[in-house]
Amino acid sequence: MDAILVKGGAPLSGRIPIAGAKNACLALMPATLLADQPLTLTNAPRLSDIRTMTQLLQSLGAEVTSLNAGRVLALSSHDVTVLRADYDIVRRMRASILVLGPLVARFGRAEVSLPGGCAIGARPVDLHLKALEAMGAEIELIDGYVHATAPSGGLRGARIDFPFVSVGATENALMAATLARGTTVIGNAAREPEIVDLARCLRAMGARIEGEGTPVITVEGVDALHGATHAVVADRIELGTYMLAPAIAGGSVECLGGRLDLVGAFAEKLDAAGITVEETPLGLRTARRNGQAKALHVVTEPFPGFPTDLQAQMMAFLCTADGVSVLEERIFENRFMHAPELSRMGARIAVAGGRATVTGVPRLRGAPVMATDLRASVSLILAALAAEGETLVRRVYHLDRGYERVEEKLGGVGATIERVQDR
Ligand code: EPZ
């Protein structure tokens, strides 16, 4: 099993290319099910989650061809005959639930395994199902599978008001609404850049959508969508992760393809901590100014608030800030599993419910640590960049789900980091 070995201490310098967004691509790929003409996605990230979504779509009978070393995905659902997403794939990746809306909208029915929880929380899909029911779908839960059936005339437009923001439920509702008869209004819609990117791709396929990126999205259903070519938006979570690398290790790094509008709230926090964030012609540069970083109070919220997917990374940074920081995790119920691992490196972190209090220490010490979930694993690598001595991060398969070649990208800017075989 792979592990990542990091020797701390080297300040960073250079450029890191930011890949296409995993969480945009995982919604864009199922969109191919809405049309019988090919969808081509460029700037696709090369990640194990993308390979899992490929397998899932292929299990339905769709064609997915990976070109240009995985950077381009050519998809076609012309020959989809299977309308069942099996548990053995869905259990590996919760985003599989995003085939539900498109399948019901285009083919009239679907059987999709319930994704089940994951390390960071129970992660139910009740809002996804309620949205489809509002559009006329009949939903039954049988033996751990969602059985959804559209009315004989197909889904119909509806007013959907989400009680709280859900990225995935907004994506399922948005995709289903593109082929529903009539108008759908999605209230309390997620505003994440991945939603905006999905709406742009659907519009290129012929969908009639307004309001993406605001809390109210309006969709006029059409009879059919057609093919398109779409470039996946840059990954704001990978961007934020690498913006933090020089903040922790010292030095200066330019993230190529980074855009300030993707990481507004996060960049504001970095600036408040005393980190320079600068827009360049090629992206975003961050650099550590002299002296210790300042402590912060961080609260995770739906976009445009501070992203939950950058909470673990920010905690790694605050472990050596000057003073006491507080991080409040308001999106998921169990997203502090990186805390005990960081404590093994000498961090002083007290967790009580959804609140973590971090008392800064002068320096962390390298130690063998364990990755528990995708973003926790990268926070341990960030912490290791400045820790005294060596850190071995085990179970990096979590990491490979969401980060392309992390050892190459950080190694390329001067980190002492390598992938090793764990015993
Ligand atoms: C997406 O997950 C992302 N995943 C997550 O990124 C991200 O953390 C999350 O949005 C929040 O930004 C993908 O896009 C593939 P939600 P999603 O529905 O859609 C509850 C990563 O690290 N909820 O916005 O599953 C849910 O339990 C991953 O890349 C319900 O109760 O998140 C959570 O507490 C981790 N019922 C909250 O809402 C529902 O029907 C927000 O979840 C749906 C969600």
201 carries an active-site annotation: no
- The per-residue pLDDT for 116 is 72
Going by alpha carbons, the residue nearest to atom 43 of ligand 1 is 125
> Which of 54, 91, 57, 84 is closest to 70 using CA atoms?
54
> Which of 156, 189, 157 is closest to 170 using CA atoms?
189
Instruction: State the Cα–Cα distance between residues 171 and 217, nearest whole angstrom.
Output: 11
Mind listing the pLDDT tens digit for each residue in 73-83?
999 999 999 99
> Which of 167, 333, 374, 401 should be mutated for ligand 1, with most atoms under 8 A from CB?
167
Distance of CA 157 to the CA centre of its chain: 28
Mind listing the pLDDT tens digit for each residue in 274-325?
999 999 999 999 999 878 899 999 999 999 999 999 999 999 999 999 999 9
In 10 A of CB 353, how many CB atoms? 9
The answer to whether residues 50 and 403 touch, using CB atoms and an 8 Å cutoff, is: no
- The per-residue pLDDT for 120 is 76
**Could you tell me the end-to-end alpha-carbon distance of the chain, in angstroms, rounded to an integer?**
7
The answer to whether residues 229 and 200 touch, using CB atoms and an 8 Å cutoff, is: no
Q: Which residues line ligand 1 (CB under 6 A)?
A: 23, 26, 94-95, 121, 123-128, 166-169, 308-309, 331-332, 374-375, 402
Assess whether the previous peptide bond of 304 is cis (omega < 30° from 0).
yes
The answer to whether residues 258 and 18 touch, using CB atoms and an 8 Å cutoff, is: yes
- The per-residue pLDDT for 115 is 86
Going by alpha carbons, the residue nearest to atom 34 of ligand 1 is 332
CA torsion through residues 373, 379, 381, 387, sign: negative
Of 25, 118, 201, 319, which one is the catalytic site residue? 118
Instruction: State the Cα–Cα distance between residues 285 and 12, nearest whole angstrom.
Output: 12
Distance of CA 421 to the CA centre of its chain: 27
- The per-residue pLDDT for 391 is 97
In a structure prediction context, what are the per-residue pLDDT tens digits for the chain, which is 423 residues long?
A: 899 999 998 899 999 999 999 999 999 999 999 999 999 999 999 999 999 999 999 999 999 999 999 999 999 999 999 999 999 999 889 999 999 999 999 999 999 999 876 777 777 899 999 999 999 999 999 999 999 999 999 999 999 999 999 999 999 999 999 999 999 999 999 999 999 999 999 999 999 999 999 999 999 999 999 999 999 999 999 999 999 999 999 999 999 999 999 999 999 999 999 999 999 999 999 999 878 899 999 999 999 999 999 999 999 999 999 999 999 999 998 899 999 999 999 999 999 999 999 999 999 999 999 988 899 999 999 999 999 999 999 998 999 999 999 999 999 999 999 999 986
Instruction: State the Cα–Cα distance between residues 313 and 376, nearest whole angstrom.
Output: 7
Angle at CA of residue 416, ends 415 and 418, nearest 5°: 115
At residue 391, φ and ψ (nearest 5 deg) are -125, 130
The answer to whether residues 8 and 387 touch, using CB atoms and an 8 Å cutoff, is: yes
Cross-strand partners of 256: 17, 283
Cα 398 to ligand 1 centroid, rounded to whole Å: 17
Q: Which atom of ligand 1 is nearest to the CA of 194?
A: 14
The two structure tokens encoding residue 347: 């961090």
Instruction: State the Cα–Cα distance between residues 290 and 143, nearest whole angstrom.
Output: 59
Q: Which atom of ligand 1 is nearest to the CA of 125?
A: 40
Distance of CA 15 to the CA centre of its chain: 22
Instruction: State the Cα–Cα distance between residues 230 and 201, nearest whole angstrom.
Output: 6
Going by alpha carbons, the residue nearest to atom 39 of ligand 1 is 125
The two structure tokens encoding residue 88: 């053995």
- The per-residue pLDDT for 97 is 96
- The per-residue pLDDT for 372 is 87
